[in-house]
């Protein structure tokens, strides 16, 4: 399992703190002229290893990631049309009556005017006779 970068940062920080404490204690007790102790050398090696691991992890993260294959749509086969079902128990329903011929407003006025004219003509004929 790869080492996470975030955990490496924390480990590097802790290692740096321990290394600094080791160097300060050596300088305080023995002086700056003395060579590094075994403990300091181990901390330096561990720090170098952590930095290399962090660089390796960062380089690996910069590489392109594998991507999922693109979806290729395949056309579905056309289905055969189904034959219409005919139920034997039902009879054909009687169709609704056709709508009556409706007269438009102008036709109604013309018919009314003709009826009035016919009534006037009828009244005149009866007066003459």
Q: Is the pTM of this model over 0.85?
A: no
Task: Please give the share of the chain, as a percent, with pLDDT higher than 70.
Answer: 84
For 35-83, the pLDDT digits (tens) are 888 999 999 999 999 999 999 988 988 898 888 888 888 888 888 888 8
Task: Please state, in angstroms and rounded to a whole number, the distance separating the CA atoms of residues 120 and 126.
Answer: 10
- For the ranges 9-18, 22-31, 68-77, 99-108, the maximum mean pLDDT occurs at 9-18
| Alpha helices, H only, 30-104 | 38-62
Instruction: Count CA within 13 A, CB hemisphere, residue 110.
Output: 5
């Amino acid at each position: 399992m790869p080492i996470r970068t975030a955990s490496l940062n924390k480990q590097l920080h802790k290692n740096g703190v321990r290394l600094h404490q080791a160097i300060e204690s050596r300088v305080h007790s023995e002086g700056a002229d003395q060579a590094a102790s075994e403990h300091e050398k181990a901390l330096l090696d561990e720090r170098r290893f952590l930095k290399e691991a962090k660089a390796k992890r960062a380089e690996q993260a910069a590489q392109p990631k594998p991507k999922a294959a693109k979806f290729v749509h395949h056309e579905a086969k056309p289905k055969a049309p189904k034959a219409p079902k005919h139920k034997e128990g039902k009879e054909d329903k009687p169709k609704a009556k056709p709508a009556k011929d409706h007269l438009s407003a102008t036709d109604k006025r013309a018919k009314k005017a003709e009826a009035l004219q016919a009534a006037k003509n009828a009244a005149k004929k009866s007066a003459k006779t």
